[in-house]
Amino acid sequence: MDRERFLRRLKSDPAFYERMEKRLARKLVESVLSSAVAYGHVSVKGKSVKKTMEEFRKYLTIKRIRSLPLLFAIDHTSTLRTLGREFLKKGQLWIAVVMYATWVEHTLNLLVSIGVHRRGFSDVTVKQIIRDVSISAKLSWLLPVLGFRRLHPRHGETLRAVAEKRNEFLHYKWPYRANHSDAEIKSLLTQADKALQYLAQYKSRQTLQGRKSHIARAAR
């Protein structure tokens, strides 16, 4: 459903409006709960859905809600991965690399943000680290320094290779070759798909204590 049709139906169909309202409320609760878990304010480890929500309610008091600014940002991360797959199917391999590598960078930067905030530092520090530390460093020593497990070396190396390929394309730095076969980049993209899946699971385990589905159930 496109945007105009969605808005028309929202205005003309009360039942549809009510469903969307409930869905939005559930998504908002899930997002806030996920953030509370990721940033270390609420623990879901070993807890039932009921216990999780009890702890969440204790954390999210009326006083806290009133004291927190309500800020919004559009997160394109999941879209990037989807676009990468679509471009790969169309045979536009270099564009697929750009989408995949940007998804990796977004995911790593989210992990950096969570790790730095868990240690009590401000957004200013987060932005400086994200700006000053290379992707290669984020894939190797930075995550363990911030308290996360080390990435699997094989997947880490694949993600680094994808980032390097993106830089070749974006900064016009690719090497000249006698034969520009697509075999190399196709092979890298095949490995990258598995590495991206690994990184998504890694993020869930390291930030949501491996209980993403549990948090979604609690938000309902």
**Confidence label for 8 from pLDDT (cuts 50, 70 and 90):** confident
Digit-coded pLDDT (tens) for 157-195:
999 999 999 998 888 776 666 666 678 888 999 999 999
Residue 158: its pLDDT value, please?
A: 96
Burial class (CB within 10 angstroms; exposed 0-12, middle 13-18, buried 19+) of 1: exposed
Residue 175: its pLDDT value, please?
A: 65
Q: In this model, does residue 217 exceed pLDDT 80?
A: yes
Could you tell me the residue ranges of all domains in the chain? 3-73+212-219, 77-207
**Confidence label for 1 from pLDDT (cuts 50, 70 and 90):** low
Q: Which of 69-73, 78-82, 136-140 has the lowest mean pLDDT?
A: 69-73
Q: In this model, does residue 70 exceed pLDDT 80?
A: no
Long-range CB contacts for residues 27-34, cutoff 8 Å, separation at least 24: 27/219, 29/219, 30/215, 30/216, 30/219, 32/60, 33/215, 33/218, 33/219, 34/208, 34/212, 34/215
Portion of the chain with pLDDT greater than 70, in percent: 93
Digit-coded pLDDT (tens) for 97-118:
999 999 999 999 999 999 999 9
Residue 82: its pLDDT value, please?
A: 92
State mean pLDDT over 148-160.
Answer: 96
Phi and psi based region of residue 128 (left: phi greater than 0; alpha: psi -120 to 50; beta: remaining): alpha
DSSP state string for 178-220:
S---SHHHHHHHHHHHHHHHHHHHHHHHHHSTT-HHHHHHHH-
Question: In whole numbers, what is the pLDDT of the chain averaged over residues?
Answer: 88
Q: In this model, does residue 72 exceed pLDDT 70?
A: no
Measuring CA to CA, which residue among 152, 154, 141 is closest to residue 115? 141
